[in-house]
Amino acid sequence: MRPNLTVIGAGSWGTTVASRCARRGPTRIWALEDEVVEEINARCSNSLSLKGFKLPAALRATRSMEEATREADVVGTKAAIVGWRI
């Protein structure tokens, strides 16, 4: 069984890492912006940070830190400091 992974931060680096992980198993990504969460979940893309790249359908985004980490076996972070001022 593969671990459930979560990446905190949906910028270019966080999205890239989460995308690679989602090719192997269930992966969540936490994003600060509602529109990024919506785009990742609805269109499998993040045009704000990675224009032109298709993301795996296994990658699910959320704005809720609790939801992102609740079932995670592994949590990685790649969030800008400004993201922590919420």
CB of 38 closer than 8 Å to CB of 17: no
pLDDT at residue 2 in the model: 81
**DSSP string across 16-73:** HHHHHHHTTS-EEEE-S-HHHHHHHHHHS--TTTSTTPPPPTTEEEES-HHHHHHT-S
pLDDT at residue 79 in the model: 62
The structural domains of the chain, ordered by start, are: 5-78 (3.40.50.720)
CB of 16 closer than 8 Å to CB of 56: no
pLDDT at residue 50 in the model: 92
Across the chain, which has 86 residues, the per-10-residue mean pLDDT values are 90 95 94 97 97 96 96 83 55
pLDDT at residue 58 in the model: 95
